[in-house]
Structure 1
Amino acid sequence: MFVIGSGAKHLEEEISRHGNLINVEIKKFPDGEKYVRVLERGKEAIVIQSTYHPQDENLIEALLLGDALSEAGFKKLKIVIPYLAYSRQDRVTKEGEPISVRAIMKMLGLYYDELYVFDIHNPKTLEHFPGIAKNIYPAEAIANYFKDKLGEGLILAPDKGALERAKRVAEVLGLEYSHFEKERISPTEVRMKPVDVDVNGKNVLIVDDIISTGGTMIKAANILRELGAKEIFVVATHGVFAEGAIERVSKAVNELAVTNTIPTEVSKISIVDYIVKLGEKE
């Protein structure tokens, strides 16, 4: 049985075709505080709550849903967070800072037995969650969307840190993969180039976890065009998108697509099948 939070309303119609939804009431008091009420009883529930903007509000709602479900007698609670806010704040860079993602994980662990996230920035941070925590990478969904567009193309990661994502998509498609290497030429200039692959005359898919400003993707696409790449596609799991980023990236490539962990105008790839399978394991 699924509970749909405010941050996952864009997934509700699709999920409802595959599983039962628990009826909940969610609203705001006049002072801005959230109100949550569970209107059914049961033993197990899966809360689905993405935590894009307003991040803090969606996180608090996830906690209130966990408390309300426990109060209503549910004994086992799982939470699926398609996009986990604060996941990039995973280390201390200046004295006195928190490890923000650790605080979020511990907080969620007060109510939830299992946590499932999609393509978290640093999978090692899941160790902060006190229960079962798993990272889901939607390689098959991404590969299926692009397989007819790419042909005998290749998959590239924008840097070595994203190479595993490129590898997973490439393995589904049976294609070659590599990554961009960054070389600092001067204090203000960085050069990027694909490592050990020839992109001339080939379609290329650039794969990453998050697109925010889109600057890296645009630079990578421009380099690929200079090297003779044919058609250039860009995909990310999470379309965070700073203002104007969708338009800027779309102009630089043949197609931009992201999954629907966050609702955007280019959220063309659905993660719902992965969520439904979690419900089938109950």
Structure 2
Amino acid sequence: MIVLNTHTIITEQFPNKETKVKDFDSYILKDNFLQFTYQEDGDLIKLLFVKKRLEQEQVNCRLVINYMPYSRMDRKIDGDLFTLQYICEFINDLNFEKVYVVEPHSTKTTEMLHHCEAIYPALDWLPSIINKLQFTDSDRIVFPDKGAASRYENAGYANSCVFDKTRNPQTGRIENMILKQGDIPQGAKCIIVDDLCSAGGTFLWAGQILKQMGASEVYLLVTHCEPRALSGKLLDQDSPIDKVFTSTSMMHETHPKIEYITINLENYV
């Protein structure tokens, strides 16, 4: 989905699968603000068409990427292409005045995108969630791996814990997780904080360990949540995760264990 200056761009598809983008002349301003939500590869072609139309008018345009596509393919792995590099080059070639990325999965995105700035709304959501859950000094913020700990190292919360996980290099499946830093007091409430949830395997592991160590309630705060989470075990009634706080950057489906939080982009751009 592409939103230009608060107006959703209308697209259709011809029978042969080519994309038709309806003209949006009345939406164009001197300084434009484009929001891009990736759902499939065809959305990148729509972004190309919209930006080229704006170039015809010789106007300025800033881009907000709600979720950076291919962000997990952020390094060269034997047998796979380094596809994040190609997507960043594609966006760079569109010559946006400024690019904002909501919760990039790694620093590779901001390193490779020109005129790029990262936005981390999860850190801004934490205080209100902590207040809502009535946190005390016995409760804990939990980072599921060293990547998350590094990403949110400036969160400013002293009572935090960090997990260390081991994956099978061939299958990518988690083989082991241990609490590497911090402690879990009996009866503690815990909020696991990360940028992205897919099927939720990492958070199931972490949640089970936290409950076994004595946590009374375990919550998950992720900026991006894929629809895959709806078909996995993360949201089951007997899951160790009591509730998921997330944005609508990747899905909008209603579920009793999901609470959506709005990203107010005007606070960042």
Q: How does 1:26-105 map to 2 (within 5 A)?
A: 26-36=11-21, 37-40=23-26, 41-51=28-38, 53=39, 55-74=40-59, 76-94=60-78, 97-105=80-88
Q: Separation in 2 of the partners of 1:39 and 1:105?
A: 27
1:23 Cα shift?
Answer: 7.3
1:140 Cα shift?
Answer: 0.6
Corresponding position: 1:269 with 2:255: no
1:194 Cα shift?
Answer: 4.8
1:113 Cα shift?
Answer: 2.2
In structure 2, give the amino acid aligned to 1:99.
Answer: F
In structure 2, give the amino acid aligned to 1:134.
Answer: E
Root-mean-square deviation (CA), in Å?
A: 2.7
Corresponding position: 1:177 with 2:165: no
Out of 196, 208, 212, the position equivalent to 2:194 is: 208
Whether contact under 8 Å (1:157, 1:165) holds in the other structure is no
Of 76-85 and 139-148, more deviation after overlay is shown by: 139-148
Deviation per CA, 1:2-40, whole angstroms, max 9, x where unpaired? xxxx256xxx9xxxxxxx535744322232222222223
In structure 2, give the amino acid aligned to 1:145.
Answer: I
1:147 Cα shift?
Answer: 2.6
Deviation per CA, 1:165-204, whole angstroms, max 9, x where unpaired? 45444x2xx55112112369xxx94242252323322110
- Runs of 4+ in structure 1 off by over 6 angstroms are none
Q: How does 1:217-236 map to 2 (within 5 A)?
A: 217-236=203-222
Between 1 and 2, higher relative CO (CA 8 Å, sep ≥ 6) is seen in 1
1:73 Cα shift?
Answer: 3.1
The percent identity for this pair of structures is 24
- SS across alignment from 1:251: coil
- SS across alignment from 2:133: helix
Q: How does 1:77-226 map to 2 (within 5 A)?
A: 77-94=61-78, 97-111=80-94, 112-129=96-113, 131-138=114-121, 139-152=123-136, 153-169=139-155, 171=156, 174-182=157-165, 189-226=175-212
Change (3 A) 1:66 1:83: same
Q: Separation in 2 of the partners of 1:227 and 1:56?
A: 42
- SS across alignment from 1:200: coil
Deviation per CA, 1:233-275, whole angstroms, max 9, x where unpaired? 111111014251353488322211212212233351111x1x2
Change (3 A) 1:202 1:190: same
Unaligned runs of 5+ residues in structure 2 are: 168-173
Change (3 A) 1:251 1:276: same
Change (3 A) 1:34 1:83: same
Whether contact under 8 Å (1:119, 1:137) holds in the other structure is yes
Whether contact under 8 Å (1:114, 1:133) holds in the other structure is yes
In structure 2, give the amino acid aligned to 1:276.
Answer: E
- The aligned residue for residue 3 of structure 1 is none
Whether contact under 8 Å (1:156, 1:207) holds in the other structure is yes
Change (3 A) 1:64 1:89: same
- SS across alignment from 1:144: helix
- The aligned residue for residue 257 of structure 1 is 245
In structure 1, give the amino acid aligned to 2:36.
Answer: Q
- SS across alignment from 1:247: coil
Output the TM-score relative to the length of structure 2. 0.83
Q: Separation in 2 of the partners of 1:142 and 1:269?
A: 11
Bigger share in helix: 1
Deviation per CA, 1:48-78, whole angstroms, max 9, x where unpaired? 0111x3x20112111111111111332x211
Of 246-255 and 190-199, more deviation after overlay is shown by: 246-255
